[in-house]
Amino acid sequence: MQPPLRIYLVGAHATGKTTLARWIRDNYGLPMISEVARGVLAEMEAHLDGLRSNIDMIDRYQMEVFHRQLEAEAQQQGSFVSDRAFCNLAYAGHHATILGDIATDPRLSGYMQSVRAGLVFFLRPHRELVVEDGVRAGLQWEEVVRIDGMVKLLLEMFRVPYIPVESLSMQERVRLTERVLDLAGMQKRRKGGVVEDGELHPMPRFKTTNGAGAAHN
């Protein structure tokens, strides 16, 4: 039996990680770990612009994001796709004072070993994707490039094998992803069912409000 495959999409903000992660989720029937940072931010009832001027709060925020990512992955017993991994460490290095604390945390070494055993796609930045969305701060090209460089530094420093995704075209991103996952033994979801353990299973169904059954996506 094929061991669970952990798929990570890493890189700076505004590089299309979530879009590609959703495509993998929908086409391969994998659970997706969404960006935990937004949930932490909402719980703190804060905005990144405001956090930048409060070093104690940004330290607490970045530490909590690191812990939440570890917890979210630990809850997944099988294969999954995540639109983040250790990416918040790049932001901690630029905006917080806790990177040294995380670097000496024994959980970091174990976590990076787990990431190394997964499949890591490194999405590179493009100016065309840097669009203000009203949620994320620092959506300037120079900031994106700095974070991109820090993510690459972390990948190399921890010897994490990765597949660079350089193209802006979603078509080419999809084709690259399909080929890599095919070589890794992953099968795409087929129409009307899900491929599991080499066999086609019907899509799970749930009851709608009128009592009719519907496929669950």
Residue 189, SS3 per DSSP = coil
Grade residue 192 by pLDDT with cuts at 50, 70 and 90.
Answer: low
Grade residue 46 by pLDDT with cuts at 50, 70 and 90.
Answer: low
Is residue 63 in a domain?
Answer: yes
Is residue 131 in a domain?
Answer: yes
Averaging pLDDT over each range in 41-45, 152-156, 198-202, which range is the top one? 152-156
Q: Chain centroid to CA 157: how far?
A: 19
- Whole-structure pTM value: 0.81
Is residue 43 in a domain?
Answer: yes
Is residue 206 in a domain?
Answer: no
Q: Chain centroid to CA 112: how far?
A: 14
pLDDT(191) > 50:
yes
pLDDT number for residue 131: 73
Grade residue 173 by pLDDT with cuts at 50, 70 and 90.
Answer: very high
Is residue 153 in a domain?
Answer: yes
pLDDT number for residue 36: 83
Encoded amino acid at 61, one letter: Y
pLDDT(209) > 80:
no
- The residue among 117 and 200 whose pLDDT is bigger is 117
Is residue 59 in a domain?
Answer: yes
Can you give the residue range of the structural domain that contains 51?
A: 6-186
pLDDT(90) > 80:
yes
Grade residue 32 by pLDDT with cuts at 50, 70 and 90.
Answer: very high
Q: What angle do CA 93, 148, 43 make, to 5 degrees?
A: 55
pLDDT(55) > 80:
yes
Distance CA 46, CA 59 (A): 13
Grade residue 48 by pLDDT with cuts at 50, 70 and 90.
Answer: low
Q: What digits encode the pLDDT tens for the residues 105-148?
A: 999 999 999 999 999 999 999 998 887 554 444 468 898 999 99
Distance CA 70, CA 198 (A): 30
CATH number of the domain bearing residue 63:
3.40.50.300
Average pLDDT over residues 190-206: 46
pLDDT(156) > 50:
yes
Is residue 208 in a domain?
Answer: no
Grade residue 40 by pLDDT with cuts at 50, 70 and 90.
Answer: confident
pLDDT(89) > 80:
yes
* Number of structural domains in the chain: 1
Is residue 152 in a domain?
Answer: yes
pLDDT number for residue 211: 45
